[in-house]
Amino acid sequence: MNCIAFIQTKGGQATKASLEAAGFAVGIGQTVAVVSGELNGDGGLGAVGITRVLQGAGDLDDSQLGRLVSAAADQEGATVVVCAQDHLGKAIAGRVAVRLGAGLIAGVTVAPEGESYTRNVFSGKASAQITGSTDRLVITTTPNAIGMPAASDGTASVEAFNTDLGERKVNILEAAAPSTGGRAPLPEAELVVSAGRGMKGPENWGLIEDLADAVGATTACSRPVSDIGWRPHHEHVGQTGIAIRPNLYIAIGISGAIQHLAGVNGSKVIVVINKDPEAPFFKAADYGIVGDAFDVVPKLTEAFKAL
């Protein structure tokens, strides 16, 4: 089976989520990667089993990217197109599916197993096995769910790919990336320290930052915390915020409402710190500490620093 993997790059390197998507596609069949714009060498794609990269023009809008990927799929006779379920992947997957007349399976969480693909449903409370009923398929992979493919020492050849991309329909006047204070962006973070209303106010977030620094984690928060302006909106995780799947999620002073859990219950290990032993979050926790965050968190930070 021939596949196309759409790759998003940063500084000429494929993003982690895109490398996972590329590895997923390689697990399905012979895969050609498609990138838009500059690439540093092969962008790290050879190491995940890609042998050919088609390099399209840079600075494209979502509509043009959809055309680029669809044209590459037609040229290569690809029956499956894979991209990460990140903001760009979400923006182009539907466009590519319409152009190719393909079915779309979004947010796959498990490596390919034959004809069916697994994704979470009902806010992560269950999973569904989905089989495509169309000749061609577009699949998006949930970041941090499938894991990175085993690294190889292969390299990929890079070819210029020119096709009719149509008129640019959207012009970006200004782009400002939220500051993460040098920490990994939340969607890609493997370690996350998150806090809720139990922290009482923004003046107490130093405790959360200190713990995050000691662990090397990114900070997150519950929705009310960002709604009342204690923390920026890009830190809000949950059903209406960012859905994350880190290796470690430390939840401090968060009750564990279903809408919060919907965005974090794919985390590999969940640690809950809450003074209420009846807090619902403990049911989803791998480790729980019943105690006052203002006592527990500084001690935990010191323990991590000592490690």
Q: Which residues bind ligand FAD (CB under 6 A)?
A: 196-198, 222-225, 238-241, 253-255, 257, 259-260, 263, 273-276, 279, 292-294
Decide whether 122 or 131 has the Cβ nearer to ligand FAD. Answer: 122
- The minimum distance between CB 262 and ligand FAD, in angstroms, equals 7
Decide whether 129 or 259 has the Cβ nearer to ligand FAD. Answer: 259
**Helices H, strands E: what count in the chain?**
7, 16
**Token pair listed for 281:** 């979050």
Residues 6+ apart with CB under 8 A from 115: 131, 132
- The minimum distance between CB 196 and ligand FAD, in angstroms, equals 2
E strands, the chain, in order: 2-7, 9-10, 13-14, 30-36, 52-56, 80-84, 103-108, 116-121, 126-131, 137-141, 157-160, 191-195, 218-221, 248-252, 269-274, 287-290
What CA–CA distance (Å, rounded) separates 63 from 73?
A: 15
- The minimum distance between CB 187 and ligand FAD, in angstroms, equals 14
Decide whether 16 or 223 has the Cβ nearer to ligand FAD. Answer: 223
- The minimum distance between CB 57 and ligand FAD, in angstroms, equals 37
Decide whether 198 or 266 has the Cβ nearer to ligand FAD. Answer: 198
Decide whether 66 or 143 has the Cβ nearer to ligand FAD. Answer: 143
Residue type, 16: K
- The minimum distance between CB 55 and ligand FAD, in angstroms, equals 38
| Strand pairing category for 157-160 and 191-195 | unpaired
- The minimum distance between CB 86 and ligand FAD, in angstroms, equals 18
Helix axes 205-215, 293-306, angle to 10 degrees: 20
- The minimum distance between CB 127 and ligand FAD, in angstroms, equals 20
Decide whether 19 or 254 has the Cβ nearer to ligand FAD. Answer: 254
What CA–CA distance (Å, rounded) separates 68 from 96?
A: 9
Decide whether 23 or 263 has the Cβ nearer to ligand FAD. Answer: 263
What CA–CA distance (Å, rounded) separates 250 from 190?
A: 11
